[in-house]
Structure 1
Amino acid sequence: MNPLPPKPAVFLLLLFSVIFVGTHFSIAIDTSNSTIQIINDGDHLVSTNKNFTLGFFSLNNSTTPRYVGIWYSQIPQRTIVWVANRNQPLNDTSGTFALDRHGNVVLFTPTQTISLWSTNTTIQSNDDVSIELQNTGNLALIERQSEKVIWQSFDYPSHVFLPYMKLGLNRQTGFSWFLTSWKALDDPGTGNFSCRIDPTGYPQLILYKGNVPRWRVGSWTGEKWSGVPEMTRSFIFNTTYIDNIQEISITDGVTDDTVLTSMTLDESGLLHRSTWSEQDKKWKDYWWAPTEWCDTYNQCDPNTNCDQYDTKQFYCKCLPGFEPRSNQSWLLNNPSGGCISKRPNAMCRSGEGFVKVSRVKVPDTSMASADLSMSLEACAQACLNDCNCTAYASANELTGSGCVMWHGDLIDTRTFANTGQDLHVRVDAIELAQYTQNSNRPSTKKVIVIVVVSFVALVLLLTSLVYLWKMARKRRERSRSLSYDLGDTLNPNEFDESRTNSDLPIFDLLTIAKATDDFSLNNKLGKGGFGAVYKGKLTNGVEIAVKRLAKNSGQGVEEFKNEVNLIAKLQHRNLVKILGYCVKNEEKMIVYEYLPNKSLDTFIFDDSKRALLNWKKRFEILRGIARGILYLHQDSRLKIIHRDLKTSNILLDVDLNPKIADFGMARIFGQDQNQANTNRIVGT
């Protein structure tokens, strides 16, 4: 049989892949060995599509060394996402990026005597394969007949984790997908830092420096890594986590392909998430780690909890049932040696139990075991029955199910400010009794309050009846000055700052002033017709929004009273939640839950933010608003018409769920009433 000539389909594929290049490249067919070549004669492109470009590049405006890589097509600031020959640069101004006779993609020196890089696959002939630069940024070598991907760049990431790329491990073959940093800004060679999933024990993601853990991203908790509290359900990402007998991996998809986003492991060992801002023409980091003192792996040594939010004490604290190995070192704020069991011989006896440590990144799970089908109650009993079990926790934060048990030392536990998991640490009977006693004992603050209140009561009893009568009269006068009748809206009991409604707490003015940094301009979120709104943070870490009625706004007093009494009676996921109010002299304030994405109009009327609202998210927002209106009009105990519904009064939480706000102009209808008159024009 005569040998078949090269198939023209292969030639056409490569011709189309460089159709935008013009004369910068030549395509040659060497009939002696059936090799199709794309020969580079300068710093030009090999292939491009609407999202990504494959080509030769150099760094720092130099001509050598040269690399073959992939970068974003439409971004003026060249951002390299993958490098083929990162450790074998081309020290010449030209080279050959070719599909050889064996079906491999190969990078040759100009003389074609040395292969600097190859896909290194086993294929019979290049007649059977095609090469494609996909819109995801993946360079794929595809078998024609079966359309099977034989090799792809996504299997060999460099320093950038793109959407639809995997991080993880194939349990059957041992093949791993992981990130490695560059050596330096101008050197894409393999650096010192890597980020990969460790499958031992209960799998977890770890950032390494060399072979030593630098930061433990943590184990998967159902919606995020245990060490990344900022990683919540997002309207941008569709995260898929797989853990089965075949593989363990994580992939981030995007709900809107027009959003350019990636995670990068830079040369300094920082992981950061970035999104391209078309408005500012630059990449914007919205998350990076490790950054905090407690992020460093095993910062406080074994059996400790690193809590940097307790500013009054040393950050390192022993877990329940443990004490410092060296008291002298700990007095010098040196946690060397960590903590050891107070009574090691008392363990695994009757009367034992667990002490809950809240808001933590659970310990290193490489020495832990997991049963995802077990309930948390069964997990506690299983740990208690195992003398080597030192702690347990839920494997899935979303469902509260699954069981993770630790055996031996507890390594790299840390506390977060507002979120985290519950870790149940095993303690002996003596320690359990002490914790139980302490939890039932009144706190020092409560004792002080009781003593002060008793003393004040005693002083008041010793004062004259005349003085008590005067104070009572002043209180009544103040109550009358604040009392009101909502007329066509609502007739509640009189509004009195001295009374505490169990459904609506009263905040002290000093508490709100401290939370908002004395109503600092830096905390000002916006201003309406009746006053300003400030962001605040209470001492327990809860973030709040404070609506402060302007002192000279006589018009707003009625609306303020209406909103305080009305919204307290409403409970719905699509209505903003009121936490309390404050009335002090001329100050009148309402305290709400804080919603970080502000109001809907900030998205609609902003070009860059508007792009984040795809049609699916817009429909979800509209549906949420409709649910809230249906509740007000039909399902709530009070039949309410809002009368001021507009985009600035639709607030968005962290997941862009809508919440209707500002009930100052709302009006209540009777259950059988279908029309009414208003005394003045209000709202929109």
Structure 2
Amino acid sequence: MTSLNDHLPFVVSSLVLFFYPLFSKASNTLLQGQTLEDSADQTLISPGKVFELGFFSLTAGRNHRYLGIYYHNISPQSIVWIANRDTPLSDSSGTLRLGTDGNLSLVDTTTGNSIWSTNSSATSSNSSASLTLEDDGRIILQLTNGTVNWDSFDHPTDTFLPGMKVLLDIRTGRRTLFRSWRSADDPSAGNYSLGLDASGQIFIWEGKQDTVAVGPVGWHQVHRLTMRPLYLYGFHPTNDVENGLLYFTYAQMNSSLLRFVLQWNGVENTTMLVEETRQGNL
């Protein structure tokens, strides 16, 4: 007669195998060598189940697939960041990989081509990297020594979330730019951009410019956002003279989920969702 102890290793291993997919599906972390596959409907979910990173389509019947961040369990789907906004996949062959060099790459497994990458040079062969999705809506690449190699908040699309910076480096001309979608159902870079000018004011510009300069050369200024409403929302301006930085930050003042979106038509839209009810038109 065999005892329960004789079967215990098998029972334990079976339990581990059974629960592993559940743990994986609810994880907010991707480790080196791991992948996130569209064909397997795999996603990352932030610890507080606020945001989700995964693949999606915007229009039924249109074979364009994107990798991005959106609010978890909110309908209709509310997207806050897209990796491959200008290079959509044509089917569900997309796979997100965290390589041995510590960089993320989005690969079309049908062709083997990388269509998007973080291209971070701040890697280390002595420390492994991991990708985490945070409850503030960002994904970060971080080494085990705590060094952040790449942060999606430094590479926004059209949406400003609490914790982001609208930044201008006076010395180098580096600027955080939020760029609108091309249309309501096309997230490729559109015709409007939002950012700081050298006077420390937030502007929306009409027009495109591939290289960012301190002044909006060649752009047509649409309008300057009024500062008073921004202050009321909780925006705080900072002039870091020592480092030559001007930036605005937003401090969340309650349990609502607030986001600011530069819409495809150049209009800045503010939307609030009350967390207790998870209701709102995001």
**TM-score interval, normalised by the smaller of the two chains:** 0.7 to 0.9
Specify whether residues 142 and 279 from structure 1 end up closer, same or farther in structure 2 by C-alpha distance, changes over 3 A only.
closer
How much is the aligned-residue C-alpha RMSD, in angstroms?
2.7
Contact 1:96 1:112 in 2 (8 A): no
Q: Residues 113 and 20 from structure 1, CA distance in 2 versus in 1: closer, same or farther, beyond 3 angstroms? A: closer
SS in structure 2 at match of 1:154? helix
SS at match of 1:117: strand
CA offset digits 1:515-549 (Å, max 9, x no partner): xxxxxxxxxxxxxxxxxxxxxxxxxxxxxxxxxxx
Aligned to 2:240: 244
1:450 corresponds to which residue? Answer: none
**1:112 CA drift (Å):** 5.8
User: AA paired with 1:135?
Assistant: D
| Alignment of structure 1 residues 640-679 onto 2, 5 Å | none
* Number of the residue aligned with 2:16: none
Does 1:77 pair with 2:73?
Answer: no
1:141 match: 141
Q: Would the aligned equivalents of 1:17 and 1:46 in 2 still touch at CA under 8 Å?
A: no
Aligned match of 1:261:
258
Q: Which residue number in structure 2 is paired with residue 204 of structure 1? A: 201
Q: Which residue of 2 aligns with 1:154?
A: 153
Given the superposition, is the C-alpha separation of residues 232 and 244 from structure 1 closer, same or farther in structure 2, using an over 3 Å criterion? closer
Secondary structure in 2 matching 1:177: coil
Report what 1:20 is aligned to.
Answer: 25
Relative to structure 1, the CA distance from residue 117 to residue 18 in structure 2 (aligned partners, 3 Å threshold; closer, same or farther) is farther
Distance 1:65 1:154 in 2: 24
Distance 1:194 1:271 in 2: 10
What is aligned with 2:222? 214
Contact preservation (8 Å) 2:127, 2:143? no
Residue 124 of structure 1: how far off its partner (Å) = 3.5
Q: In structure 2, what is the equivalent of residue 435 of structure 1?
A: none
Q: Give the Å deviation of 1:276.
A: 1.6
Q: Any idea what the Cα deviations from partners look like across 1:461-511, whole Å, max 9, x if unmatched?
A: xxxxxxxxxxxxxxxxxxxxxxxxxxxxxxxxxxxxxxxxxxxxxxxxxxx
Give 3-state SS (helix, strand or coil) of 1:283's partner: coil
The one-letter code sitting in structure 1 at the alignment partner of 2:168 is: L
- Is the contact made by 1:100 and 1:126 (CA closer than 8 Å) also made in structure 2? no
The Cα offsets for residues 48-94 of structure 1, whole Å up to 9 and x where unpaired, read as: 02110000000123462100000011322210000000001111222
Q: Given that residues 72 and 78 in structure 1 are in contact (C-alpha distance below 8 angstroms), is that contact kept between their aligned partners in structure 2? A: yes
CA deviation vs aligned residue, 1:612-666 (integer Å, no higher than 9, x gap): xxxxxxxxxxxxxxxxxxxxxxxxxxxxxxxxxxxxxxxxxxxxxxxxxxxxxxx
Deviation at 1:228, TM superposition (A): 4.3
Residues 252-302 of structure 1 show CA distances to partners (whole Å, capped at 9, x for unaligned) of 01022x311111100011002111256693327xxxxxxxxxxxxxxxxxx
| Contact kept? 2:167, 2:176, Cα under 8 Å | yes
Pick aligned residue for 1:273 from 225, 250, 270: 270
TM-score normalised by L of structure 2: 0.78
What fraction of aligned residue pairs are identical, expressed as a percent? Answer: 30
Contact 2:200–2:247 (CA under 8 A) maintained in structure 1: no
5 Å-filtered alignment, 1:20-39, equals: 20=25, 35-39=33-37
Q: Which has the higher contact order (CA 8 A, sep 6+)?
A: 2
Distance 1:103 1:187 in 2: 30
Output the amino acid matched with 1:216: R
Determine the C-alpha separation between the residues in 2 that align with 1:230 and 1:112: 49
* Cα pair distance change 1:174/1:150, threshold 3 Å: farther
SS at match of 2:120: coil
Give 1:129 shift. 1.3
Letter in 2 for 1:129: A
- Taking the aligned partners of 2:99 and 2:22, their CA distance within structure 1 comes to 17
Q: 1:213, CA displacement in angstroms?
A: 0.3
**Which residue is 2:131 aligned to?**
131
- Per the alignment, in what secondary structure is the counterpart of residue 251 of structure 2? strand
Matches within 5 A, 1:542-621: none
Q: Is the 8 A contact 1:103 1:126 kept in 2?
A: no
Q: Which residue of 2 aligns with 1:187?
A: 186
Hey, what's the Cα distance between the residues in 2 that align with 1:194 and 1:94?
Answer: 31
The answer to whether the 8 A contact 1:18-1:46 is kept is no
Larger Rg: 1
What runs of 5+ residues in structure 1 fail to find an aligned partner?
1-14, 218-226, 285-684
CA contact (8 A) 2:45 2:133 kept: yes
Matches within 5 A, 1:311-390: none
Change (3 A) 1:18 1:112: farther
Question: TM-score, normalised to structure 1's length?
Answer: 0.34
Distance (whole Å) between structure 2 residues aligned to residue 165 and residue 264 of structure 1: 13
**Counterpart secondary structure, 1:233:** helix
Amino acid in the other structure paired with 1:39: E
Q: Secondary structure of 2:156's match?
A: coil
Higher helix residue share: 1
- Cα deviation per residue 1:146-177 (whole Å; 9 max; x = unaligned)? x1211010001111100111111133443221
Q: Structure 1, residues 330-370: CA drift from partner, whole Å, max 9, x if none? A: xxxxxxxxxxxxxxxxxxxxxxxxxxxxxxxxxxxxxxxxx
Residues 181 and 269 in structure 1, CA contact (< 8 A), matched pair in contact too: yes
Mapped to 2, the partners of 1:125 and 1:280 lie a distance apart of 43
The one-letter amino acid of 2:263's match is: D
> Counterparts of 1:189 and 1:176 in 2: how far apart (Å)?
20
8 A contact 2:190–2:264 mirrored in 1: yes
> What residue in structure 2 maps to residue 46 of structure 1?
43
Structure 1's 18 and 175: CA in aligned 2 closer, same or farther, altered over 3 A?
farther
Separation in structure 2 between the aligned mates of residue 18 and residue 59 of structure 1, nearest angstrom: 28
Q: CA distance change for structure 1 residues 63 and 18 in 2, over 3 Å: closer, same or farther?
A: farther
Label 1:143 to 1:170 Cα distance change in 2 as closer, same or farther (>3 A).
farther
User: 1:127: how far off?
Assistant: 4.9
Q: Deviations over 1:554-587 (max 9, x none)?
A: xxxxxxxxxxxxxxxxxxxxxxxxxxxxxxxxxx
Q: Distance in 2 between matches of 1:153 and 1:244?
A: 22
Partners of 1:99 and 1:126 within 8 A in 2 = no
Aligned to 1:519: none
Following superposition, the deviation at residue 21 of structure 1 comes to 5.7
1: distance between equivalents of 2:195 and 2:232? 22
Offset at 1:187?
A: 0.7
Alpha-carbon distance in structure 2 between the residues aligned to 1:125 and 1:94: 30
Structure 1 pair 228/255, CA: closer, same or farther in 2 (3 Å)? closer
Question: Comparing both structures, which one devotes a greater share of its residues to strand?
Answer: 2
